[in-house]
Structure 1
Amino acid sequence: MNHSLIRVGTIYLPVQEVDESAIWYQEKLGAGINYKDNQKAIIGLAGIIIFLVKSSPEQTSNFLDVVGSSRFAITFEVNGVGALRALHKELKNKGVSVGEIEDRGHPGLNFVFEDLQGNRLDVWSELSPAYGV
């Protein structure tokens, strides 16, 4: 019997305004809203479920690395540099706070964007190998 972890099923992100955040994810990123109440919204995005959980105003999913740079906890993947550049442009056109496209010294390119609450999210131009179950 295999008792290994298989995949990430759910990610939780702190938000201040559940309704506003759910609509932002739907309009800006194409997320589906599966459930919503005054404490949380459950959205489907990029093949995973994300809980947007009502939290205190100063709370985000960001953290500081050892040199004090603000980091993100999630990296989304797109299929190639062309797709990355197109998404970068699309998000900018939708008014999303988007960072510059970066070469971080590994295969592919990345950029960071922020949701309404300031949660930093990363996008990478390379697809990870598919893992069979």
Structure 2
Amino acid sequence: MYEDDHILAFLDLHPIRAGHVLVIPKAHHVWFEDLPEDLATRITGCAQRLARRMKRLYEVERVAMFYTGIHVAHAHAHVVPMHHVHDVTSQAYLSAGHDAFTMPAQLPDSEMEEIARKLRKG
């Protein structure tokens, strides 16, 4: 589907929706946070081009892009045309069923501030 010297894009064998594409770096990196910034940018640019095509082809409003790394220890991005609002939704939002939406509990402000402080600190 797409290939250059640094990345490869191909259809997922077990798609969430038709058109689900994986964009992977040719160089091995286990986690997405280990990707060199220029390589991550290249993956995102490819995903954006695919998303624009998916919107036209599938007549969808949204296309999701995310990294998981759950089944394969090689950084890879998923690009998924979203036909349904919950195509890529966490189970945490679906306690009332697939066609409903349940907002998870909000953390207390003090806990949010502490998390933000720790993330800023690094």
TM-score range, shorter chain: under 0.3
> How high is the TM-score relative to the length of structure 1?
0.26
> How high is the TM-score relative to the length of structure 2?
0.27
Larger fraction in strand: 1
Rg (Cα) greater in structure? 2
